[in-house]
């Protein structure tokens, strides 16, 4: 089959690789019909290369048609249309019983001190072959895949794999009071959905912040109040002034480790990319490598007693945090990898109806063949051609 494989920093290639096969009784094989490029994939393209090896198959946002199932998979059958969550969870361990699916003890990558295994996402999360391919082996298929209606565009359901439940969890963690105000830093795909979801769930005011004109325009088109951070000297101060002199009730950081406005962090990322893998892994894991300008702005811009919800990916362990200010202002900080299956039963009815209240089909800007995936990665990273969300067609 054809699959997108990693070969180095900014070097991904579509190659012929062996077809996947059933290896465990709880496996399924999926023929992929659509698979998206996630903002998190760009971390692999740029920063997290030390945890990859040449030939690793990328991608963790797939959907498709069931081709084959193992003997212990009774809830799926060939021909079913399914979306595959990015984290791999068993549904029955101690963590899964508490709906902490991203911490599944059956698939936890204990050797790296990490949570549940992920598709297509480095040795830190199990080196599981990803879904930017023609076919995908799905472990724990007795629980993970989400069955969706046979009709409707793939883009109506595809985002259940990651970004839609990730945004839903970020909004739930933010816990904006009814009629209150939420600010969303970063209007990429997750940030766009955060803003739409919070409005749908009853926020009185949603403010989106970004510096990419196409992202600002897309949010504005959906009724979101926007701020272009290029025009602001003091982003937290502007938020506080804009919302009653005290700031929004909650803030979501939907940006993460590669934030703009962090020149020292950017330099560190570039330097790590030049180091041997073992040294770079230690630097990334044990030394503060994240670009924290957005997180710090979120903490400083939320009102006293408010909540900061983190959905952007961070990787360092020794990054400086303004703990004195957080303590003094009584800020609650919530974060974590999305527990996808915890939220999908709530979200799916919104997608299966005719009205599409979250306008999920108005997100993708580019749909391209899998063969053009290397070009799509470059375009997405450079934010060229108005690129906000890319869907690949194997």
What's residue 291's pLDDT? 72
Same domain, 93 and 179: no
Same domain, 209 and 289: yes
What's residue 290's pLDDT? 57
Same domain, 85 and 113: yes
Same domain, 168 and 158: no
Q: What's the Cα-to-Cα distance from 121 to each of 48, 115, 196, rounded to whole Å?
A: 9, 12, 28
What's residue 276's pLDDT? 53
User: Where do the H-state alpha helices sit in 47-162?
Assistant: 94-97, 154-157
308-344 burial, b if ≥16 CB within 10 A, otherwise e? bbbbbbbbbeebeeeeeebeebebebbeebbbbbbbb
Same domain, 223 and 268: yes
Single out the residue in 312, 335, 358 at which a domain terminates.
Answer: 335
What's residue 50's pLDDT? 84
Please answer whether residues 134 and 31 qualify as being in contact, where contact means their C-beta atoms are separated by less than 8 angstroms.
Answer: yes
CATH number at residue 189: 3.40.50.720
What's residue 156's pLDDT? 97
User: What tokens does 161 get?
Assistant: 């794999």
Domain count, the chain: 2
pTM (2 d.p.): 0.91
Please answer whether residues 72 and 133 qualify as being in contact, where contact means their C-beta atoms are separated by less than 8 angstroms.
Answer: no
CATH number at residue 379: 3.90.180.10
Single out the residue in 335, 350, 374 at which a domain terminates.
Answer: 335
| Residue 125: strand, helix, or coil | helix
Same domain, 30 and 132: yes
108-141, pLDDT tens digit by residue? 999 999 999 999 999 999 999 999 999 999 999 9
Same domain, 255 and 366: no
Same domain, 138 and 231: no
Same domain, 33 and 100: yes
What's residue 134's pLDDT? 98
Single out the residue in 313, 335, 357 at which a domain terminates.
Answer: 335
Q: What's the Cα-to-Cα distance from 73 to each of 22, 67, 79, rounded to whole Å?
A: 11, 12, 14
Q: Note down pLDDT in tens along the chain; length 394 residues.
A: 999 999 999 999 999 999 999 999 999 999 999 999 999 999 899 877 888 999 999 999 999 999 999 999 999 999 999 999 999 999 999 999 999 999 999 999 999 999 999 999 999 999 999 999 999 999 999 999 999 999 999 999 999 999 999 999 999 999 999 999 999 999 999 999 999 999 999 999 999 999 999 999 999 999 999 999 999 999 999 999 999 999 999 999 999 766 544 444 444 444 444 445 544 454 455 444 557 889 999 999 999 999 999 997 776 666 678 899 999 999 999 999 999 999 999 999 999 988 899 999 999 999 999 999 999 999 999 999 999 999 999 9
What's residue 283's pLDDT? 42
Q: What's the Cα-to-Cα distance from 64 to each of 85, 147, 290, 341, 364, rounded to whole Å?
A: 12, 10, 35, 17, 18
Same domain, 100 and 190: no
Q: How many CA atoms lie within 13 A of 1 on its CB side?
A: 23
Same domain, 130 and 193: no
CA distance 389 to 187: 11
What's residue 258's pLDDT? 61
Task: For 72, list phi and psi in degrees, rounded to 5.
Answer: -95, 5
| Residue 28: strand, helix, or coil | strand
Same domain, 174 and 150: no
The domain of 281 spans 164-335
Helix H or strand E segment including 53: none
């Amino acid at each position: 089959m054809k699959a997108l494989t990693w070969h180095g920093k900014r070097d991904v290639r579509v190659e012929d690789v062996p077809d996947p096969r059933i290896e465990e009784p709880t496996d399924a094989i999926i023929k992929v019909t659509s698979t998206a490029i996630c903002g998190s994939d760009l971390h692999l393209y740029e920063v997290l290369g030390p945890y990859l090896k040449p030939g690793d198959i990328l991608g963790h946002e797939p959907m498709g048609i069931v081709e084959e199932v193992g003997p212990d998979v009774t809830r799926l059958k060939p021909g079913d249309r399914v979306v595959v969550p990015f984290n791999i969870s068993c549904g029955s361990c101690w963590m899964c019983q508490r709906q902490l699916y991203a911490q599944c003890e059956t698939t936890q990558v204990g050797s790296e001190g990490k949570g549940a295994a992920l598709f297509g996402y480095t040795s830190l999360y199990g080196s599981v072959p990803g879904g930017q391919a023609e076919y995908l082996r799905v472990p724990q298929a007795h629980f993970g895949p989400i069955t969706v209606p046979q009709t409707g565009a793939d883009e109506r359901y595809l985002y259940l794999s990651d970004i839609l439940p990730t945004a839903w969890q970020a909004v739930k963690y933010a816990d904006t009071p009814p009629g209150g105000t939420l600010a969303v830093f970063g209007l990429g795909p997750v940030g766009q959905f955060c803003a739409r979801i919070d409005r749908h769930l009853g926020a009185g005011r949603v403010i989106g912040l970004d510096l990419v004109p196409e992202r600002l325009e897309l949010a504005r088109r959906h009724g979101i109040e926007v701020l272009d951070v290029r025009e602001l000297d003091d982003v937290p101060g502007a938020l506080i002034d804009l919302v009653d002199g005290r700031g929004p009730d909650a803030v979501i950081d939907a940006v993460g480790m590669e934030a703009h406005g962090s020149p020292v962090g950017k330099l560190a990322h570039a330097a790590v990319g030049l180091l041997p893998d073992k040294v770079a892994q230690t630097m990334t894991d044990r030394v503060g490598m994240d670009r924290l300008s957005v997180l710090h702005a979120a903490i400083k811009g939320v009102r006293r007693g408010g909540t900061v919800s983190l959905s952007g990916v961070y990787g360092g362990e020794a990054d400086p945090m303004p703990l004195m200010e957080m303590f003094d202002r009584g800020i609650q900080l919530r974060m974590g990898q999305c527990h996808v299956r915890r939220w999908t039963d709530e979200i799916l009815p919104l997608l299966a109806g005719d009205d599409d209240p979250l306008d999920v089909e108005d997100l993708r800007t580019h749909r391209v063949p899998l063969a053009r995936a290397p070009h799509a990665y470059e375009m997405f990273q450079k934010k060229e051609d108005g690129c906000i969300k890319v869907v690949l067609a194997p």
